[in-house]
Amino acid sequence: MHEIFSQLLGVTTLTIEAGGVLVIVIGIIVAAISFLRDPRRPTAYRELRATLGRAILLGLELLVAADIINTVAIEPSLQTVGVLAGIVLIRTFLSLSLEVEIEGKWPWQSGNTKRANASQG
């Protein structure tokens, strides 16, 4: 029974990882198509970066979920938990950086910082 459960979790982990990669790849394709339709629009580049960033963020979230399942449920050891902690730390930093790049403000800031800065200037 334990072996069947481990195999099921392994397949689940691989499926979630594949979904994360697929989300990123589809996001790249959608962003590129949208950009190439009219690259001269004033907002085209900003929309391209935002779409790419959102796809990467969602893909990273799925990849982190797969890593957590793999580490906690399949191979629970001190070494794998340490590796997971490093992976989560790096991916959290990437997610935070992408969020700031897309939104133009820290996630904990309320309101629209760009709009507030424009009205002050």
Q: Would you say 16 and 65 are in contact if contact means Cβ atoms under 8 Å apart? A: yes
Indicate the pLDDT class of residue 116, thresholds 50, 70 and 90: very low
**Residue 104 gets which letter from DSSP?**
S
Residue 111 has pLDDT above 70, yes or no: no
Cα angle: 87, vertex 92, 97; to 5 degrees? 130
Indicate the pLDDT class of residue 121, thresholds 50, 70 and 90: very low
C-alpha span between 76 and 36 (Å, rounded): 46
Indicate the pLDDT class of residue 105, thresholds 50, 70 and 90: confident
Residue 119 has pLDDT above 60, yes or no: no
Q: What is the pTM of this model?
A: 0.73
Q: What is the mean pLDDT of residues 32-57?
A: 90
